[in-house]
Amino acid sequence: MLLVSALACCWFMPGPVGGTGALALAALAGLTFPDTDQFLPLLRHRSAVTHSMLIVLVCLADRRLHPVAAGLALGIGFHLAADCFPVSMRGFATVKMPFAGTLDTQNSYIWLAANAVAGSYVFGMLVERLYGPQMQIAAMVGALLLGATYLAGVPGGFRALAVYAAIFWVGWRLHQPAVS
């Protein structure tokens, strides 16, 4: 429902207010989107279809949906970061490739981590393109609060939070927006 609301914001409320609402709603939707594979026929848990940036790429095809893409990238990235720290990377924890079987432990870690980092990058890139400096800072603060809140409550989340904090810090240091 959150994702549908985010899409509606972009389609029916174009502009900064609709885009900001879409970004926030999509980020919340992205936190749980990867686990929709448990309810979809033909997909197994930790499917590469939902545990990736595929839906983000679909949203990037329509410029109006870029705020949704940014929010989904952020939320999915946080989810996948937490999935990088299971109790044990085997069975349900490994990534399932449609029609190709299950990735081994090492490749499952690589898949999840690469997609989590890609989510951070896409979020930062789109926020920079879509918003002015003050909104960029607000989006980053919101992202950090969302990530800290989500990751503090999921298994493996504290370790993922430490990694994400390092990624955000490096990204911030490499490219600080100018405040006007």
Determine the length of the chain.
180
Cβ-based neighbours of 33, under 8 Å, separated by 6 or more: 3, 50, 55, 72, 75, 76, 79
The model's pTM is 0.89
165 compared with 110, residue with greater pLDDT: 110
H-run or E-run covering 97: strand 96-97
Distance CA 42, CA 61 (A): 25
**Tell me: the pLDDT tens digits for 62-99?**
999 999 999 999 999 999 999 888 877 777 788 999 88
Contact indicator for 143, 126 with CB cutoff of 8 Å: no
